[in-house]
Structure 1
Amino acid sequence: MYFIQPTRDIPYLEQVIAALPSVQMIRIEDLDLYDPTIIAIADVRDYLTHQWTLPTIVLALEDEGAALAQAWEQGALAGWMWSKPPANPQQALIKIDAQYKRNQDSRDLPSAAELQKKLLPNPIELTNYKVETFFQPSAYLSGDWYDYWKISDKEVLFYLADVSGHGVTSSLLTSWMAAFHGRSKTPRELIKKLNGMLVQENIEKHITMLTGILNLETHQLRWSSAGHYPPAILFEPNKEPKVLTTSSFPLGLTEDLEVEEFECTLNRHARFIICSDGALEPFDGGLNEQLGQLVHHLQNQSFQAPEHVADDIAILSFRRMN
Structure 2
Amino acid sequence: MYFIQPTRDIPYLEQVLDTLPSVQMIHIDDISLYDPTIIAIADVQDYLTHQWNLPTIVLAFEDEGTALVQAWEQGALAGWLWSRLPENPPQALRKIDAQYKRNQDSRDLPSAAELQKKLLPNPIELCNYRVDTLFKPSAYLSGDWFDYWKISDKEIMFYLADVSGHGVTSSLLTSWMAAFHGRSKTPRELIKKLNGMLVQENIEKHITMISGILNIETHELRWSSAGHYPPAIIIEPNQAPKILNTSSFPLGLTEDLEVEEFECVLNKQARFIICSDGALEPYSGGLNEQFEQLVFHLQNQSFQAPDHVADDIAILSLCRTK
TM-score interval, normalised by the smaller of the two chains: over 0.9
Letter matched to residue 84 of structure 1? R
Q: TM-score, normalised by structure 1?
A: 0.99
Q: Deviations over 1:41-100 (max 9, x none)?
A: 000010001100000000011111111100000000000111111121111101100110
- 1:127 deviates by 0.8
Answering whether residue 165 of structure 2 is matched by residue 165 of structure 1, we say: yes
Secondary structure of the 2:178 match is helix
- 1:32 deviates by 1.1
> What are the within-5 Å matches in structure 2 for residues 1-322 of structure 1?
1-322=1-322
Secondary structure of the 1:225 match is strand
- 1:177 deviates by 0.4
2: CA distance, partners of 1:194 / 1:134 = 24
- 1:122 deviates by 0.7
Letter matched to residue 302 of structure 1? S
1: CA distance, partners of 2:173 / 2:270 = 32
Q: Deviations over 1:173-224 (max 9, x none)?
A: 0000001123411101101110111111111111001000000000000100
Work out whether residues 235 and 270 of structure 1, in 8 Å CA contact, stay in contact via their aligned partners in 2.
yes
Letter matched to residue 268 of structure 1? K
Aligned length: 322
Secondary structure of the 2:182 match is coil
Secondary structure of the 1:214 match is strand
| Unaligned stretches of 5+ residues in structure 1 | none
Letter matched to residue 41 of structure 2? I
2: CA distance, partners of 1:88 / 1:206 = 43
2: CA distance, partners of 1:58 / 1:148 = 53
Letter matched to residue 235 of structure 1? I
1: CA distance, partners of 2:301 / 2:203 = 38
1: CA distance, partners of 2:159 / 2:86 = 56
Secondary structure of the 1:181 match is helix
2: CA distance, partners of 1:183 / 1:286 = 39
1: CA distance, partners of 2:185 / 2:95 = 50
Work out whether residues 160 and 276 of structure 1, in 8 Å CA contact, stay in contact via their aligned partners in 2.
yes
Letter matched to residue 101 of structure 2? K
Letter matched to residue 162 of structure 1? D
Q: TM-score, normalised by structure 2?
A: 0.99
- 1:241 deviates by 0.6
Work out whether residues 268 and 321 of structure 1, in 8 Å CA contact, stay in contact via their aligned partners in 2.
yes
1: CA distance, partners of 2:183 / 2:240 = 34
Work out whether residues 213 and 221 of structure 1, in 8 Å CA contact, stay in contact via their aligned partners in 2.
yes
Percent identity for Structure 1 against Structure 2: 85
Q: Deviations over 1:138-166 (max 9, x none)?
A: 11100000000000000000000000111
Letter matched to residue 22 of structure 1? S
2: CA distance, partners of 1:309 / 1:232 = 22
1: CA distance, partners of 2:116 / 2:71 = 36
- 1:229 deviates by 0.3
Letter matched to residue 31 of structure 2? L
Secondary structure of the 1:113 match is helix
- 1:236 deviates by 0.7
Work out whether residues 151 and 183 of structure 1, in 8 Å CA contact, stay in contact via their aligned partners in 2.
no
Work out whether residues 149 and 183 of structure 1, in 8 Å CA contact, stay in contact via their aligned partners in 2.
no
1: CA distance, partners of 2:161 / 2:289 = 23
Secondary structure of the 1:6 match is coil
Q: What value does the CA root-mean-square deviation take over the aligned residues?
A: 0.7
Secondary structure of the 2:256 match is coil
